Structure 1
Amino acid sequence: MNEKTAEFMILALVGTDHHPFDRMVELVDALQQAGEPGRNGRKCLIQFGTSSPPRYAQGMDYLPKSDVQRQIDLADLVICHGGPSTIVEILRSGKRPLVIARDPRKGEHVDGHQQRFARHMANQGHIDLADSAYDVEQLLSHAASTTISASNANVSLPSPDASALLLGALVDGLIAEGKSYRIWHSRRNESRA
């Protein structure tokens, strides 16, 4: 529980993609309407982007980056879309996100990269993945009764600089491999002629 407010603080982030993510907003809003998980109550802020605004929870379409980080720090539980950047930002804060990945079959995104990334992170044990209202209710109930599920202090992530250097090295390697392949392929075709 957040000591500053004595309320259980939930932050829900749909991100900034232009596709509405009404499914997530409605699910979290329904949880807020349903009641309080403990004696001290529940407060919920939903960043809803282009989705319909919540009816029961507090809502903001977009938050400045500094406010997002401040809200993550204040939250007892962070529910978010499956965007890699958002998930990593939450992990860096020491929180364990509850992730609801956008589904392109429902018009929530252009492809399934959020679903693939979220499954990968769940398989690594870094996030809780929810696919239904029941999943979210169970994970919320667990998070409200313990601070362990909301904490992810054991996750070790490389710095953004280290990640950029690693990505650069991988790209350089792929480019070099491509040049080697083109040279080999060109010589092979010459020898057949």
Structure 2
Amino acid sequence: MGNKIFITLGSQKFQFNRLLKAVDELCEKEIVDAAGVFAQIGYSDYLPRKYSYKKFLDRDEFSNEMGKADIVITHGGTGAIIGAVKKGKKVIAVPRLVKYGEHVDDHQLQLIKQFDELNLICPCRDTNKLSDALDTVQKASYNGYESNTSNIISSIEEYIKGI
């Protein structure tokens, strides 16, 4: 697979070693071209063996890496998902799960479900299915992100005028 992949795990103080290991395994099996993968690994303590990474990126580095990517693999955080979708990237979202010490609860399952129902992303609820998700995301078409900001601002302005 020749696609450029950017992995972003956010900046919350939780590890996501499970996802990083899964990508390493795909690189090892040559399902994914390790030369085309870059990860922002955050607070994870697993250090990728097969692909490039950095713990944290500044805004310009992050934008640069995201810009180069065809596919973004991210945790199930709203900001990370929307940021990638707004840039027109194909997104695979993998939920952080409490049973692996990746978050305080499993709310990312619900967030990913909602983004999937809007046909904005490819969900991957199990890292053992990441190869399948990569196949799916390459073939599928997703809806573009439509901001609701102007509608919200209009509603607030109308409310204020009515006061």
Return the TM-score normalized by structure 2. Answer: 0.82
- Contact residue 78 and residue 96 of structure 1 kept, 8 A: yes
Q: Which amino acid aligns with 2:29?
A: A
For residue 57 of structure 1, report the CA deviation from its aligned partner: 1.0
Q: Does 1:28 align with 2:23?
A: yes
On the 8 A contact 2:41/2:54 being kept in 1, the answer is: yes
Partners in 1 of 2:47 and 2:79 — Cα distance? 23
Shift of residue 19 of structure 1?
A: 1.1
Residue 141, structure 1, aligned to residue 135, structure 2: yes
Distance in 2 between residues matched to 1:67 and 1:82, nearest whole Å: 21
User: Is this contact kept in 2: 1:37–1:141, CA < 8 A?
Assistant: no
**SS of 1:137's equivalent?**
helix
Which stretches in structure 1 are left out of the alignment for 5+ residues?
2-6, 173-193
94, 101, 107: which one aligns with 1:107: 101
> Aligned partners of 2:117, 2:152: CA distance in 1, in Å?
24
Aligned position for 1:190: none
Name the counterpart of 1:130.
124
Mapped contact 1:95–1:153 kept (Cα < 8 A): no
Take 1:142 and 1:116, find their aligned partners in 2: how far apart are those partners?
20
SS of the residue 1:11 aligns to: strand
Mind listing any 5+ residue stretches in structure 2 that lack a counterpart? Answer: none
- The count of residues paired between Structure 1 and Structure 2 equals 156
For 2:4, what is the secondary structure of its paired residue? strand
Alignment of 1:79-90 (within 5 A): 79-90=73-84
Distance in 1, Cα, partners of 2:131 & 2:151? 35
TM-score (norm 1): 0.70
Alignment-derived partner of residue 146 in structure 2: 156
**CA-based RMSD:** 2.6
**Equivalences for residues 16-55 of structure 1 within 5 A:** 16-36=11-31, 42-51=35-44, 52-55=46-49
**Pair 1:8 & 2:24 matched:** no
User: Which secondary structure state, in structure 1, belongs to the residue aligned with residue 36 of structure 2?
Assistant: strand
Quote how far apart the aligned CAs of 1:126 are. Answer: 0.8
Match for residue 65 of structure 1? 59
Identical aligned pairs, as a percentage? 22
Rounded Cα–Cα distance in structure 2 between residues aligned with 1:42 and 1:152? 26
